[in-house]
Structure 1
Amino acid sequence: MDLSERGQQDPVPGGGAQRGGSGIPGGRRKQRVSMADVAKLAGVSSQTVSRVSNGHPGVIVSTREQVLAAMRELGYRPNSAARALRYGQFNTIGVILHSLSATGNSNTVEAIATQAAAEGYAITLIPVDIPTQDNVLGAFTRMGELAVDAVIVFIEVHLLDAGTVALPPGVHVVVVDSDAGDRYRVVDSDQAGGTRHAVNHLLELGHETVWHVTGPQTSYASQRRTHAWRTVLEEAGRPVPPPLHGDWSAESGYAAGLTLAEEPGCTAVFAANDQMALGLLRAFQERGRAVPGDISVVGFDDTPDAAYFVPPLTTVHQDFADVGRRTVQEVLRQIREDDIPRSGTDIVSTRLVVRSSTASPPFKR
């Protein structure tokens, strides 16, 4: 009897369809399909079914196909929770983040999901709309209740009260682009190095100083970029203009640009991300300040659209894919090894991409 014929047999003991007490009027009581049911239908042992469901390579192709066909026919799904309890591992990584719409976050999460899948892991995502302490702690609490082996955090961890953040013992934590002190391992882009390249590029073109549009003041990445911008100017003995505060949005960059367009001494601006640089370009165009003829602009991130701004944007490239890969690798090292450090920072290098939005100032030509 082949599988299609055997699949037509009534799986309910006693032959006839059971009615009543099932919650489905006139229907058959739904039975949980067991590994033994699959083994019987496929004509193999339960151990073979277990090896197939766990992806064990030591099963011949024809037998594996027979077992998979039986699983599909019966609607069998391996009990991953029971398997996790048996082996003490869930093969799931939790991700807590503020905004999936942000270019850096979405690209990094995509890389995390891809790398995790390649390693046989799934991800569980918990977004935090407003990153207040209560909301973030709530996300940690929810993640602690889920079956995860580790948690990756895209939240400003340095703002949290360490005494109120609790995860179950054995759950590993890696933080992305934030400061975790000595509590957790961090994977971060070289914020300071990228900023140094950007500001020095403008100074080497002959600009007397460089104005700056910051990101949110609560952002660790923004703080690092602002601090590096100030340090480069001070080390070069150049004036340090007052920074203009943005919020990562093009709208905030546009507002800053309207102000800077009225500053006669402003010939160069470093924006803390590409979206705010885009807003600057729009404001300068509206106010008749040519870029780069009158004002040079540098961004940070190197988003895919940056090369198509008008003019194409000089910016600092972040390798979000590498950040995602290294984050998963760090998580897996913590899961698999007992003697590695649980704090410290893994820095991913950045580089300056020079395009058409920067040039020497007018008085140097």
Structure 2
Amino acid sequence: METQHPVVLQLTAGNLKKRMMRYFRCGIALLSLLLTGTLYGQGRVSGLAFGDFYYIARHHNAELEGQNGFWIRRIYLTYDQKLDETFAWRLRLEMNSPGNFTAGNATPFVKDAYLRWKLNDLHALYLGISSSALFNLVESVWGYRSVEKAPADLQKLGSSREFGVALKGRLTRDGRVRYHATFGNGEGTKAEGYRGKKLALALQFFPSRPLILESYVDYARLQQGASLTTWHLFGAYRTEGFRAGVVYERQRVRAAGGSDRMLRYVSGFVVGRVQERMHLLVRMDRLLDPNPKGASISYLPFATTSKATLWILGVDVAVAPQVHFIPNIEWITYDQEALRADLYLRGTFYFRF
């Protein structure tokens, strides 16, 4: 046994050294960003963080019932720099706690890394890792990513990022018709793992100041000859103190052998100001098909064998302009009577700088 101790210590030291080197490199990168913005005054550093204290009062998975704790669901550190009147670039790092209810450290990774090329006053080209068109507008109008993801993001219909090329802009001078098109790997922030690509297009309409409409479609070639098609329709009404929206989305995955898998949902939300620094938020997601990926959803795993309904109710209290405390509940009911409902009680915090 004594002859094995040095080996165990050596492996432990090696793992520790690798981890420390990883954190050291990230620290150097962040310090470089800060110094660049300070010395030259041409860039801007910004960031945000949100997380919760959570308690799972009940769950269809008995192993999770009663679980509680603190976690960070997102930390952003972003550096933006304008190179000239035509070009600008962004680097954003993200880190978060593990979402599978296991202990672990927040590991940083690159979330955005793109060069923006302003073609003219109406259109801009993005090269690298940038936001996808799938739920960018839906999430913006919903406005509470700190509480929960947009439905398409939550149910894993696609990634929030696309690694490739994107074109965004206005089709009319007044900005009432806009678009967002992407062509890329279709694997989020990851490099290409197969030959297939993903093409997506979102058309956005703003017929009057409070009204917002969007039509979205994408097509992707998957591994082993499979393909994926997604489309949605989104409508919203937004004023200074009130907003509401409804989105219907459908995704079809077609295997090489011809068998299809469908995932559909409809979601609606309402957010209203009740006091100067207080808002109420209500959201309902109706899952019209069981989601085979449901068990792997971070922080909010769904049962994979049943249709489901998610209710979200929360109160947003702005204790300062950039600091919010949002107590909320998430309640999931299933069509299968044998499945217990899921009830999450959470105290969410959010701040930005």
TM-score, length-normalised on structure 2? 0.23
Between Structure 1 and Structure 2, which shows a larger proportion of strand residues? 2
- Radius of gyration: which is bigger? 1
Structure having the larger proportion of residues in helix? 1
Higher relative contact order (CA 8 A, sep 6+): 1
